[in-house]
Amino acid sequence: MRRFNYYLPIVFQKIAYVVFFLLYKLFVKIEIRGKEHLLGISRPIILTPNHTHELDVTAIPLVLPFFSSFLPIYFVANSTEKFKTFGWRSYIYGGVFFNLLGGYAVYSGHKNYAISLDNHIRLLRKKQTICIFPEGKRTRDGQLNPARGGLGYLVHTTGATVVPITIDTFFNMSVWDFFTRRRKVIITVCTPIPALSFEIMTKQNPTVDDYRGVGERVLQMINDKLE
């Protein structure tokens, strides 16, 4: 059984929290709405933002208070092999570096959610916080991608509460846009969805389409908040 480190991710995430909080306050007109929706819910939770840019993962922790009991966040990450085309970033993306920041890779290529998401299932059963992008990949045109089934499987298997998050938007943000405050980014925490409110929880043998249906419901909530 894999052992998960709590202290290193929370230390590194808190350092990153301060760094990116200051950067966003200085250089990006960022606004976070809906934090009140996090009151009164308990772990485990699954944060489910849309995926607009590589910067998304740096902004997600900012929806939580600095001393939030939901920290650290464990991210569903791609395997190291997926980053081979990322140029110089391929040397740091994935592996130990991501683990230190709370990113745990899926075991890809098995066509089996239980195997692919084994790390994240265990974390949710330990009442930790997971972040997964329902689309499974970053948008290429600014529009939401179709949902994949990973989120639905996690909900059905662990009964965790889902917290949809709308990022509007880092899409196509350049370095120039970032440092000249040309872009306003609004991040909205939507109303949490208890696992039992998903129809999939009444099914003993859900299909892949059932799992995707969970993601589609979440993406619809996210889309409703996009301006």
pLDDT, tens only, 11-52: 999 999 999 999 999 999 999 999 999 999 999 999 999 999
> Does any domain span residue 75?
yes
For residue 192, being part of any structural domain is answered with yes
In a domain, 2, yes or no: no
Which CATH number characterizes residue 84's domain? 3.40.1130.10
Output the six-digit token pair for 223: 């889309």
Beta bridge partners of 31: 186
Question: What percent of the chain shows pLDDT beyond 90?
Answer: 74
Domain encompassing residue 176: 7-225
> Which amino acid is residue 182, in one-letter code?
R
Instruction: Give a yes or no: residue 79 inside a domain.
Output: yes
Q: Per the domain annotation, does 49 fall within a domain?
A: yes
**pLDDT tens figures, 86-126:** 565 555 555 566 667 778 778 766 679 999 999 999 999 99
pLDDT of residue 90: 54
Q: What percent of the chain has pLDDT over 70?
A: 86
Residues 213, 164: Cα–Cα separation, whole Å: 14
What span, in angstroms and rounded, lies between the C-alpha atoms of 73 and 45? Answer: 10
218 inside domain:
yes
Work out how many domains the chain is built from and give that number.
1
**pLDDT band at residue 199 using 50, 70 and 90 as cut-offs:** very high
Q: Is 166 contained in some domain?
A: yes
Provide the residue type at 197 as one letter: S
Task: Return the H-helix or E-strand segment holding 219.
Answer: helix 208-225
1 occurs within a structural domain = no
Q: Residue 50 has what pLDDT?
A: 98
